Structure 1
Amino acid sequence: MNQHTLARSLGTSDAVVIGLGSMVGAGVFAAFAPAAAAAGSGVLVALVIAAFVAWCNATSSAQLAAQYPVSGGTYVYGRERLGPWWGFVAGWSFVIGKTASCAAMAMTFAAYAVPSPWQRPVAVGAVLGLAAVNYVGVTRTARVTRVVVSVVLVALAVCVAAAWSGADRGVAGDRLGDALDLGDLSWMGVLQAAGLLFFAFAGYARIATMGEEVRDPERTIPRAIVGALAGAVVIYAVVGATLLATLGASGLAESTAPVADAVRAGSWAWAEPVARIGAACAALGALLGLIAGVGRTSLAMAREGDLPAWLAAVHPRYQVPHHAELALAVVVSGIVLVADLRGAIGFSSFGVLLYYFVANVAAHTQDAGRRRYPRWLQVAGAALCVVLVATLPWRPVTVGVLVLAAGLAVRWFRLRGSPA
């Protein structure tokens, strides 16, 4: 077998589980509090907007992945449909954004799992350990993710029941009613919250970036992307409504561990450790899928010369991009030692929204024979990606623009210096 070829070993259920594992963990345990701080009681409206943007982007990704079932996701789609520079913008945005996501998930795991003095070294240990799991094969990644997702779903079910067990139904109903009153909302705050919550939904990209490793990709990838996203939307809606009803908008905004706080507000005191275990497992599941996705986009970019050729190596036995995943583990470990969780979420949203902007533009150019969804979805998706980027907190956006510009400048100088 060619040393740069990955093995097609994943079925539809494997792909759905990897996508769901990449999503369940980010939003449920990390993104609701900063979103509530931005939108107040409008956090559920922000969730609907984020879910709609994710749906537009997911349908574009599914349509493109069916035509181009290889590793790399929108980096490949942008190159094929729009040209090399578009592909580079997508790929570089994905790599930098999802590298920040890896750090955020490692820090989320450590925050729930251990006391503060141990959090950074434990987070680094989680990165290195899950990189090792990915190193020994994608089917093992799928098996581990399936276990993690099962544990998380059971934990969330217990936590939701525990939160409602002691809730005042009248107060909870009033809080949910306020969430549906659109007249008093700050729409700028709602849009910023939607951009932060989009961080939670972006995990379905893992499926597209692993397109070279699924069986019957033209049928499997679209089904898996839509299925994973639909499952995640239902989970986020239930948990988001529960958090808002039990903690209120101000309590949710001030919480550092909202699911655990919601459980503590109920009458099942024994269930709080379940929340922490579920959060830790969810963050690990998301981190596992993120490492796999970033590694494969780095592989695709290295194949085209947009990243060092060393990263294009595929392990002769395990058939994974082992150099790319090793490099990612080192970089993420460094970020974990110095980074801030909320800044990492904003930076990640910046990069991923740009990535999906390119995906929507690329899908809009596909002809009728390849089209699965109407063009207006791609127009809406591209426009909303731009809107959400514009409303994100300015600090992570500024850093994101500088890092993106640095990548573009390096590519321009490299091409300028290449022989004709």
Structure 2
Amino acid sequence: MTDHAGLVRRLGVADAVVIGLGSMIGAGVFSAFAPAAAAAGGGLLIGLAIAAVVAYCNATSSAQLAAQYPTSGGTYVYGRERLGDWWGFLAGWGFVIGKTASCAAMALTFAAYTVPPAWQRPTAVAAVLVLAAVNYRGITRTARLTRVIVVVVLLALAVVVAAALLGGQAGPDDAAPLWSPGAAGPYGVLQSAGLLFFAFAGYARIATLGEEVRDPERTIPRSIVIALAVAVAVYALVAVTVLLALGPERLAVSRAPLADAVAVGSWGWALPVVAVGGAAATLGALLALIAGVGRTTLAMARQADLPRWVAAVHPRHQVPHRAEITVAVVVCLLVLTTDLRGAIGFSSFGVLLYYLVANLSAFTQPPDQRRFPRWLQVLGAAGCLLLVATLPWQAVLAGLAVFAVGIAYRLARLAGPGT
């Protein structure tokens, strides 16, 4: 085994789009609408639009950077190359901690759809271990399984929309209050946007796989934009559907919004379809999350920003196997100790700061490396800062504390012998 061997370029546009969709759809549709409704009521649709705009700005920055730096690590690499080592470290640390929390949330969501409460944490651990084993066998297996999962999820969502609109109680009169934030006001709308941004961050998985796609200058930008556009369309359709079926107040307290939207109508037979779709969606997100976090961990370990022994690529399967095993162990510990709903705000904090660095990095690229205008990076950076500032205070404090731990670790490493 070699510590710094390169990964193999095996993925085309379709594979990369599928991995991005697998990361986004599971995270957003089945877990983010309820807390967003609690923050903004019907104004979550405005929040969704704001989150989509910020995500598009971030996506164009990531696409532009990934075309120039087609290697594992995403914004960790871009920040180091364009802004300096510390900026890269902060981006990588934010991604790793935020997405590790997302892994735990997805595992727990999967368990909530499939087993009784007493079995949920052991089942979530088992899901993490099984999917880590799939990733260990190679990235092409990851892409194949993700493709199957995405198809199952989209079919399940189609059934949900039909059941809620055709078999439910929703009608044209229910659409009137949809866009109103009520007492939440602008702050609540912005907070919902920050929480819903959690659902859009999956396209980063495409950039972190930059060392494994064919023709990266063409494949990565196209894949990121296509995956994000499809996800926005799906989110908008499902958000309107659940709001029509449940109303903002009931949606805000729902633990399973899609199941509840189906249950209020006459298509009771569709409830098992929702359960299958929820399980498949969260598995797809978890599969892609483990792959993405593992590769950013690999990139950081290569530069000693994480322990160097993690920077190993398996000689047969061509995956960062030590990084993925480490991620799986940490996620299992979180599954056994953390709360599902609190992970969304914490994840958004880390990932928004990650994209702040991406926008700043893309802003510095020279004209011959640019694919998008600079004002998009300015808007993206401003949007990231605004959404971070409006997240729940508990998430902000927890995020600041974990960032402080990461900074202390790097300072101690730099002060050690041989650095």
One fold, TM greater than 0.5?
A: yes
Q: Aligning the two structures, in what range does the TM-score lie when normalised by the shorter sequence?
A: over 0.9
Structure 2 counterpart of 1:238: 237
State how far apart, in whole Å, the 2-side matches of 1:383 and 1:340 are.
Answer: 30
| Letter paired with 2:146 | T
Write the distance in 2 (CA, Å) between the matches of 1:169 and 1:91.
44
Residues 339-418 of structure 1 mapped to structure 2, 5 A cutoff = 339-418=338-417
Q: Distance in 2 between matches of 1:343 and 1:168?
A: 32
Conserved 8 A contact 2:170-2:245: no
Give unmatched runs, 5+ long, in structure 1. Answer: none
Q: Give me the whole-angstrom Cα distance separating, in 2, the residues matched to 1:252 and 1:337.
A: 27
Contact 2:104/2:335, CA 8 A, preserved across alignment: yes
Residue aligning to 2:163: 162
Q: Deviations over 1:195-220 (max 9, x none)?
A: 11000000000000000000000000
1:45–1:179 contact (8 Å) kept in structure 2: no
Q: Distance in 2 between matches of 1:182 and 1:327?
A: 42
After TM superposition, the structure 1 = structure 2 runs for residues 174-193 of structure 1, keeping only pairs within 5 Å, are: 174-181=173-180, 186-193=185-192
1:22 alignment partner, SS class: helix
Q: Counterpart of 1:30?
A: 31
| Correspondence 1:23-62 to 2 at 5 A | 23-62=24-63
Counterpart in the other structure of 1:272: 271
| Deviation per residue, 1:285-327 (Å, 9 max, x gap) | 0000000000000000000110001110000000000000000
* Residues 156-187 of structure 1, C-alpha deviations (whole Å, 9 max, x = no match): 101110111233454xx344322234786511
CA contact (8 A) 2:74 2:210 kept: yes
Letter of the 1:341 counterpart: L
Residue identity opposite 1:212 in structure 2: E
> 1:326, 1:169 → 2: CA distance?
47
Superimposed CA distance per residue, residues 381-410 of structure 1 (whole angstroms, 9 cap, x where no aligned partner) = 111111111111111211111111111111
Deviates more, 1:185-194 or 1:203-212: 185-194
* Amino acid across the alignment from 1:348: S
Over the matched positions of the two proteins, sequence identity in percent amounts to 69
Q: Determine the C-alpha separation between the residues in 2 that align with 1:182 and 1:271.
A: 31
Match in the other structure for 2:297 = 298
Match for residue 63 of structure 1? 64
In 2, distance between residues paired with 1:419 and 1:106?
40
**Deviation sequence 1:320-368 (CA, Å, 0-9, x none):** 0000000000000000001111111111000000000000000000111
Cα distance in structure 1, aligned partners of 2:206 and 2:23: 10
CA contact (8 A) 1:59 1:373 kept: yes
Q: Is residue 42–residue 181 contact of structure 2 (8 Å, CA) maintained in 1?
A: no
Residue 101 (1) aligns with residue 102 (2): yes
TM-score with structure 2 setting the length: 0.98
Q: What's the counterpart of residue 72 of structure 1? A: 73
Q: Following the alignment from structure 1 to structure 2, what is the Cα–Cα distance between the partners of residues 330 and 305?
A: 20
CA distance in 2, matches of 1:169, 1:300: 49
Amino acid at match of 1:228: A
CA drift of 1:267 comes to: 1.4
SS in 2 for 1:24: helix
CA-based RMSD of the aligned residues comes to: 1.3
Does structure 1 conserve the Cα–Cα contact (< 8 Å) formed by 2:18 and 2:146? Answer: yes
SS at match of 2:313: coil
Runs of 4+ in 1 over 6 A off after TM superposition: none
Report what 2:18 is aligned to.
17
Please list the CA deviations of residues 224-252 of structure 1 after superposition, one character each: whole Å capped at 9, or x if unmatched: 00000000000000000000011000010
Take 2:186 and 2:90, find their aligned partners in 1: how far apart are those partners?
29
- d(CA) in 1 for partners of 2:72, 2:338: 29
Distance in 1 (CA, whole Å) between partners of 2:381 and 2:271 is: 41
The letter of the residue matching 2:360 is V
Q: Report the number of matched residues.
A: 418
Partner SS, residue 319 of structure 1:
coil
Change (3 A) 1:135 1:371: same
Cα separation, 1, equivalents of 2:93 and 2:358: 13
AA aligned opposite 2:223: A
Please give the secondary structure, in 2, of the residue aligned with 1:179: coil
Q: Comparing 177-186 with 355-364, which one deviates more in the overlay?
A: 177-186
Q: Which amino acid aligns with 1:160?
A: V
